Amino acid sequence: MPLQLPKSSWNTTELEDLRELARSFLQKEAVPHQERWAAEKKVDRELWTKAGEVGLLCLSIPEEYGGGGGTFAHEAVLYEEQARAGDSAWGVTVHNGIVAHYLLAYASEEKKRAWLPKLASGELVGAIAMTEPGTGSDLQGIKTRAVRDGDHYVLNGAKTFITNGFHADLVVVACKTDPDAGAQGVSLIVVETDTPGFRRGRILDKVGMKGQDTAELFFDDVRVPAGNLLGDAEGQGFVQLMLQLPQERLIIAVTAVAGLEAAVDLTLAYTKERTAFGRPIFSFQNTKFTLAEAATETAVARAFLDQCIERHLKGELDVQGAAMAKLWTTERVNKVIDDCVQLFGGYGYMTEYPIARAWADVRISRIFGGTSEIMKEIISRSL
């Protein structure tokens, strides 16, 4: 019997219909291919167009731009089902919840109408390039440079750890338009990857999330139209990033809590079926106490996440609240899944078991989107 938690307060009948669509799509198009995608370090390109055909891309983008016209709740349902399906390969959270929203918020009307419908159909795959080989959490320290040259910007630099980097057709690039202005010198410029001078490096070999095409990107005198600048002036990039990062961190919290729920369900089923010393593993006090604690941590994380989603739907989730959500849920999911692996014993370390893959996949959650240490720094500023 799976873990029984109250229905999320933001859930609706319409969302349950979407949940069923997302679940069936993932079971058909993602679950059977996990091992192959992990070996190839990328998903199939046609996965994106198939998702576009059934309406799973750009769920929270207005219909006038080809999107689903929904809210963050629609996105959350898709991300939950992806986590519960055990798929960490498809970079839809970045495409839907991050890249599309940078364009919606800051691109010109002309560019929105050019790019967003193609993101919604899967014709274009989106990525965002912030991290550099020598710069992690310190976005003010980025070296990628964009120099204005008439009606164009000329970009030079390198980015790493870029989700969807191999398939990306459109990359939102954080760069310096004024290298002497600190945070005020950061701008966001959209690069179409068929532009001369853009090239992809290797797909990186990661500990977990092995099927996700995380790549290096290089910009060598890449000329892009000045109209690809996001915002109405240079130097707005850092503020734009700060305004959008709360949603990115909430997305990470959504996947963390869904991962918690899935891990506890897997472990409950395993410990009730597996026997040791002539009785089910679940009957041992250590197992029951470990799972009792895991179930409680999962319930608390779910309640806090639901509160944060409600606040976000009302436009009330602040930077500190999103940081708390990311910090708490990612720390919990790492602890609980580690405890679950222990209950699986040696089988918990075998990659054919979903719990082992989940254990490797979730470790990055304490790092990407801002490390746990950065989250604590952000939270402390409000105290």
Catalytic machinery residues: 248
Q: Which residues of 272-297 are buried (b: 16+ CB within 10 A; e: fewer)?
A: eeeeeeeeebbeeeebeebbeebbeb
Query: Helices (DSSP H) in 41-179: which residue ranges?
Result: 46-54, 72-84, 92, 100-106, 109-121
Query: Token pair of 258, please?
Result: 């869904």
Question: CA 171, 81, 215: angle at the middle one, nearest 5?
Answer: 30
* Nearest to 201, CA basis, from 124, 153, 129, 145: 129
Question: CA 334, 340, 345: angle at the middle one, nearest 5?
Answer: 130
Neighbours of 39 (CB within 10 A): 10
Question: CA 127, 130, 135: angle at the middle one, nearest 5?
Answer: 150
SS3 107: coil
Residue 55 CB contacts under 8 Å (≥ 6 apart), including other chains: 21, 68
Query: What is the spatial distance between Cα 281 and Cα 285, in angstroms, rounded to a whole number?
Result: 9
Question: CA 144, 138, 366: angle at the middle one, nearest 5?
Answer: 120
Query: What is the spatial distance between Cα 371 and Cα 326, in angstroms, rounded to a whole number?
Result: 9
* Nearest to 340, CA basis, from 271, 252, 256: 271
Measured in Å, how far apart are the chain's first and last C-alpha atoms? 42
Neighbours of 8 (CB within 10 A): 19
| Contact present, 212 and 368 (Cβ < 8 Å) | no
User: Tokens 């779910």 belong to which residue?
Assistant: 302
- Which amino acid, 84? R
SS3 content of the chain, % helix, strand, coil (to 5): 55, 15, 30
